[in-house]
Amino acid sequence: MTSSKPNSIAHSQAPYDPGAIERKWQERWHEQRTNSPDLDRPARPFFQLMMFPYPSAEGLHIGNVFAFTGNDIYGRFQRLQGHTVFEPIGFDAFGIHSENHALKVGTHPMELIPRNIENFRRQLRRVGLMVDWSRELSTTDPAYYKWTQWIFLQLLYKGLAYKKKAAVNWCPSCKTVLSNEQVIAGHCERCGTAVEQRFLEQWFFRITDYAQRLLDDLDWIDWSETTKTAQRNWIGRSEGAEITFEVMGERAGENGAPRITVFTTRPDTIFGATYLVLAPEHPLVPTITAPAQRAAVEQYVARTVKQDLVARKVTEKEKTGVFTGAYARNPATGRDIPIWIADYVLMEYGTGAIMAVPGHDERDFQFAEKFGLPIVRVVAGEGEDAGTPLTTAYTENEAGRLVNSGAFDGLTVAEAKSRIVRWLEERGAGKATVNFRLHDWAISRQRYWGPPIPIIYCDACGIQPVPEKDLPVLLPYIEDFRPDDSGVSPLARHEEWYRVPCPRCGKLGRRETDVSDTFLDSAWYFLRYPSTEVDDKPFDPVRTRTWLPVDMYIGGNEHAVLHLLYTRFITMVLHDMGYLEFAEPFEKFRAHGLIIREGAKMSKTKGNVINPDEHIERWGADTLRTYLMFLGPFEEGGDYRDAGISGVRRFLERLWASAQEARSDGAPDEGVLRKLHQTIKRVGEDIPRLSYNTAIAAMMEYMNTLRADERTPHRAEVEPLVVLVAPFAPHIAEELWERFGHRESVFDAGWPAYDPARIAEEEIDLVVQVNGKTRGKVRVPVDVTQDAALAAALGAPAIAKFVTGTPKKVIFVPKRLLNIVA
C-alpha cells in the first residue's frame, strides 16, 4: 500500500467493488446477528419504525427504498449515538389490493402473497437495512391475525364495536361491494356498470367517542405539522347548536307532533331559516310526507339510492329536491316553513337535517332560487341594512350585524350566536352542541382476503363473540374466492366453515362472513414486533414497557389520516383497558416526501418506474441509498435524475481511495482537522433534522478539502469520515473500518466527538457594506472590535472609495458584517 504513487489512485491494488462488499457484509450481519438487539436487556432502547409495506407483485418501489433508507439512516445514527436500536419490518399483506391482483392474474392469494413477500424480502435485504430479520411479521399469518381478532373482541366487550346498516357501493353486474376508489365516474372500474348504493349490516368501531381526545393530543405530540393539520381537518370539530322544529298540521300523528332536530353552526341566523331540508334517508321522511306528495317523494328517494356514494357528493351538480308537503314551526319567528328533502343534505353528518338559511348560505341560496323559496336577510354588512336586497348569500360574519331578528337586531354575529342559543335553551327548543366530521370506523369488508371477524350468529342467543380460546378463526382456503351472486362474502359458501355451533348454547349457528378492514391489521402491528415469538398474548407486558411507545416513526403522508388516526384510536382503547401504559403510540412521527423522476411522476403506464434491482446492480446499494438521500430534503422528496448518481458514486470512490492511500506517519494537517471537526458537527446536527441532503453535501465538501491539490490524506483525517458516512453507506463503511484494523462493527464504534475549540477560526473575512451594499471584505481576527473593523475597512481603498465624508452610523454584527451608513 505504501508503494502506491500519489497519481495512481485508479490503479491502487483494491478497486472499489460494491457488489462484492455488499454481499459480504449482508452475510456477515446475518451470521453475527449484528442487527438483532437483545430485546430483554437493552441498555438504551430505541424503537425505530418504518411503515411496513404492502408486498405488491411489482416488487419494491423506489419510493419504498427512499423511505426505508431515510428511516434506516436515522436508526443507524441513533445506534452510533449509543442506543440499542430495534428496527423491525413486516408485511401488510391482507386487503383489497392483494385480492384484486390475485383475481386479475388468476392465482390464489395464499400462493401469490408468500411469493411477493419472498421477493420483497430479497430486495429489501439488498438495500442493506439495519433490520432485525428475526422479528419479521406478516398480517396474513394466523399467529398474527389471531390477535387482530382478539383486538376486535376487546372493542366489542367495551361496547366500542357495534353493528348497523350502512350504505356501500354495489355493482349489480359483478355482484360485489366496491370501495370508493373502484368507482370511476359512477361506474364499476371493472365492468363499467352503473354503481348503486346498497344498505348492508356492517360492523363499526366507535372512534367518534374518542374524537375530542384524538384532537386534543395533537396539541402536544411531536409529529410533522402537515400530518397534524390533516388530522385536525379530518376530525373536523365544529361548534354550533341543535335546534328542534315541531312539525305542524295533520301529519302530527298520535304521539304528539314529530320533532325535527337540525344541526347548525349559525344559530344566529335562525330568523332567516325559511325552510327545512332533510336527507332523503332521514327516518322521519315517510312519517311526515303528505299524501299528495308521497309519490314524488318516494320517487326522489329511490333515485337518490340509485346513485353511488361518490357521485352523490359531487359539488358542482345542480341542486335537486322535493317538497314533502309538511311544515314545521320556526321557533324564533313562529312562522310555519316548508319541509323539503334533498340529496345535498347528508344523513351521515350532524342530524341529517338542516334549517335552510338561503340568505347566508350558498347552498341554501342556490336551492331557494331554483325552487322559489323565500330568502330573508338577517345579517347586514357594512353599508347595508335590513332592506338591502341579497343577490347572493352573504356569508361574511366578521363585520355583520343582525337585522330582521326581533330583539337580537344590532348584535354582532358572535354575540348573537351565544345569546340566541341561550334563548332557545330557555324555551326548550335547542342547545349548544359540538359536532365532528369524523365518522365511526366501518371495519366490515364483504371480501375474502382478510381476517374473519370473530363472531357467531345464533338464532337463540343472537350475536356471540368467538371465545378467545378458539382464536384464531382461520381464513379457510377457498378455491374460488371470487364474489358471487349471493352478495355476501365468499366465506359464506364454505359450508363446513360457515356452519358452526353456538359457543353459548351449542346449537348450530353461523359465522360472520365479513372480514375486517386492512387498517385494523396495521393499527397495532408496532405492538407486536417486540413480542413476535410470544403466542399466549398479543404483546408481552415487560417487552412493551421496555420498547414502547415507538421512538421514531417514519412514513408517507398518504397515511396521515386513516392509518395514523386508527392507530392512535386503538392505542387509546388498549390504554383505557389497562393493556398499555401510554395512550399515544408514536413519540415522534415524520412524514417523508415523494420521489419523482426527471420532473415527472413515476407510473407503470408512463414506463418510467425505477427498478431498484437494476440500479443496485449498476451502482451498488450504498451509492443508490446515498443518492436518494442527496436528491433533496427527506421530508420533501426529490427528483431522481439518472445523470446525477455518478457524483455520489464518485464521492464513495474517493472515500475508498482516500482510505487506501491514507498515511499513518507524520501528523495530520491542522487546517484539514479543523474542517473535519466542523463536518462532524454539521453532519451530527443535520441527521436528527432529517436534513440528509445537506449532511451529504458537508461530507463531500470535506472530501474536497481532504484531497485538495492531490494531497495524500492522513489516516486520522479519513477514519472519522468513515463513521460519518456509515449511516448512509453502511457496507463501504464496514469494509473500510475493517481494513483500518478494527474488529467490531463500525456501528458499535460510536459517533466521533468534535472539539468546539478546534472548530473556531482565528481570522475571518468580515463583509463590509456601504449603505447596505456589499463592497468588499476584510481579513480580521474573529473577536475584532467595531472600531478596529471600521479602521480595517476604511484602510481598504476598494471599500473606502464608497465612503464619502464621515459615517452617520455604523452597524456591526460580530463575525458577520460591518455596514457603514454614510
Partner RNA sequence: GCGAGAGUGGCGGAACUGGUAGACGCGCUGGACUUAGGAUCCAGUGGGGCAACCCGUGGGGGUUCGAGUCCCCCCUUUCGCACCA
Residue choice 134, 238, 603, 786 for contact with RNA (CB under 7 A): 238
Is residue 349 near RNA by the rule CB under 7 A?
yes
Residue choice 64, 444, 745, 769 for contact with RNA (CB under 7 A): 769
Q: Judged by CB under 7 A, which stretch of 36-44, 418-426, 635-643, 751-759 contacts RNA? A: 635-643
Nearest residue (CB) to RNA, 107 versus 261: 261
Is residue 350 near RNA by the rule CB under 7 A?
yes
Least separation, in Å, of the C-beta of 141 and RNA? 29
Q: Judged by CB under 7 A, which stretch of 12-20, 114-122, 501-509, 646-654 contacts RNA? A: 646-654
Nearest residue (CB) to RNA, 265 versus 608: 265
Is residue 771 near RNA by the rule CB under 7 A?
yes
Contacts to RNA from residues 30-69, by CB under 7 A? none
Is residue 225 near RNA by the rule CB under 7 A?
yes
Q: Judged by CB under 7 A, which stretch of 147-155, 476-484, 584-592, 805-813 contacts RNA? A: 805-813
Is residue 618 near RNA by the rule CB under 7 A?
no
Contacts to RNA from residues 257-296, by CB under 7 A? 263-266, 279
Is residue 507 near RNA by the rule CB under 7 A?
no
Q: How far apart are CA 351 and CA 100, in angstroms?
A: 36
Least separation, in Å, of the C-beta of 123 and RNA? 24
| Dihedral of alpha carbons 453, 455, 456, 459, sign | negative
Contact 764, 780 (CB under 8 A): yes
| CA–centroid distance for 167 within its chain | 26
Is residue 794 near RNA by the rule CB under 7 A?
no
Residue choice 9, 60, 235, 373 for contact with RNA (CB under 7 A): 9
Is residue 654 near RNA by the rule CB under 7 A?
yes
Contacts to RNA from residues 388-447, by CB under 7 A? 435, 437
Is residue 358 near RNA by the rule CB under 7 A?
no
Nearest Cα residue to 16 out of 657, 623, 610, 700 = 657
Least separation, in Å, of the C-beta of 77 and RNA? 18
Residue choice 765, 779, 791, 804 for contact with RNA (CB under 7 A): 765
Q: Which residues of 718-751 are buried (b: 16+ CB within 10 A; e: fewer)?
A: bbbbbbbbbbbbbbbbbbbbbeeeeeebbbebeb
Residue choice 59, 172, 186, 632 for contact with RNA (CB under 7 A): 632
Q: Judged by CB under 7 A, which stretch of 223-231, 283-291, 398-406, 415-423 contacts RNA? A: 223-231
Q: Judged by CB under 7 A, which stretch of 73-81, 189-197, 283-291, 762-770 contacts RNA? A: 762-770
Q: Judged by CB under 7 A, which stretch of 520-528, 612-620, 628-636, 734-742 contacts RNA? A: 628-636
Q: Judged by CB under 7 A, which stretch of 3-11, 204-212, 461-469, 566-574 contacts RNA? A: 3-11
Q: Collect contacts of 495-502 with beta carbons under 8 A, ≥24 apart.
A: 500/456, 502/456, 502/458, 502/460, 502/461, 502/464
Give the list of residues 6+ apart from residue 514 with CB closer than 8 angstroms, or none: 202, 203, 444, 445, 446, 447, 452, 453, 489
Q: What is the DSSP string of 350-415?
A: TTSEEEE-GGG-HHHHHHHHHHT------EE-TT--TTPPPSS-----SS-EE-SSGGGTT-BHHH
Contacts to RNA from residues 718-757, by CB under 7 A? none
Q: How far apart are CA 193 and CA 403, in angstroms?
A: 52
Q: What is the DSSP string of 146-173?
A: HHHHHHHHHHHHTT-EEEEEEEEEEETT
Is residue 648 near RNA by the rule CB under 7 A?
yes
Beta bridge partners of 638: 595
Least separation, in Å, of the C-beta of 592 and RNA? 13
Q: Judged by CB under 7 A, which stretch of 231-239, 496-504, 518-526, 779-787 contacts RNA? A: 231-239
Least separation, in Å, of the C-beta of 639 and RNA? 4
Nearest residue (CB) to RNA, 385 versus 558: 558
Is residue 138 near RNA by the rule CB under 7 A?
no
Residue choice 193, 704, 712, 785 for contact with RNA (CB under 7 A): 704
Contacts to RNA from residues 536-555, by CB under 7 A? none
Specify the DSSP element, H or E, that contains 243. strand 237-248
Grid look-up 413515476 returns: 602
Residue 90 burial (10 A CB sphere; 0-12, 13-18, 19+):
buried
Q: How far apart are CA 61 and CA 558, in angstroms?
A: 15
Residue choice 503, 633, 668, 781 for contact with RNA (CB under 7 A): 633
Nearest residue (CB) to RNA, 32 versus 785: 785
Q: Collect contacts of 396-401 with beta carbons under 8 A, ≥24 apart.
A: 397/266
Q: Which three three-digit cell numbers place residue 113?
A: 402473497
Nearest residue (CB) to RNA, 363 versus 482: 363
Is residue 772 near RNA by the rule CB under 7 A?
yes
Is residue 651 near RNA by the rule CB under 7 A?
yes
Residue 299 burial (10 A CB sphere; 0-12, 13-18, 19+):
exposed
Largest alpha-carbon pair distance within the chain? Answer: 109
Contacts to RNA from residues 554-583, by CB under 7 A? 557-558, 560-561
In SS3 terms, 294-333 reads as: HHHHHHHHHHHHHCCHHHHCCCCCCCCCEEEEEEEECCCC
Q: Judged by CB under 7 A, which stretch of 135-143, 222-230, 285-293, 582-590 contacts RNA? A: 222-230
Q: Which residues of 473-506 are buried (b: 16+ CB within 10 A; e: fewer)?
A: bebbebeebebeeeebbbbbbbeebbebebbeee
Residue choice 323, 327, 449, 630 for contact with RNA (CB under 7 A): 630
Q: Judged by CB under 7 A, which stretch of 537-545, 731-739, 773-781, 788-796 contacts RNA? A: 773-781
Is residue 626 near RNA by the rule CB under 7 A?
no
- What length does the chain have? 822
Is residue 186 near RNA by the rule CB under 7 A?
no
Nearest Cα residue to 358 out of 331, 340, 382 = 340
Q: How far apart are CA 69 and CA 84, in angstroms?
A: 19
Residue choice 369, 587, 701, 738 for contact with RNA (CB under 7 A): 701
Strand ranges of the sheet holding 196-205, from the earlier edge strand across to the other edge: 176-178, 161-171, 196-205, 441-442
Is residue 306 near RNA by the rule CB under 7 A?
no
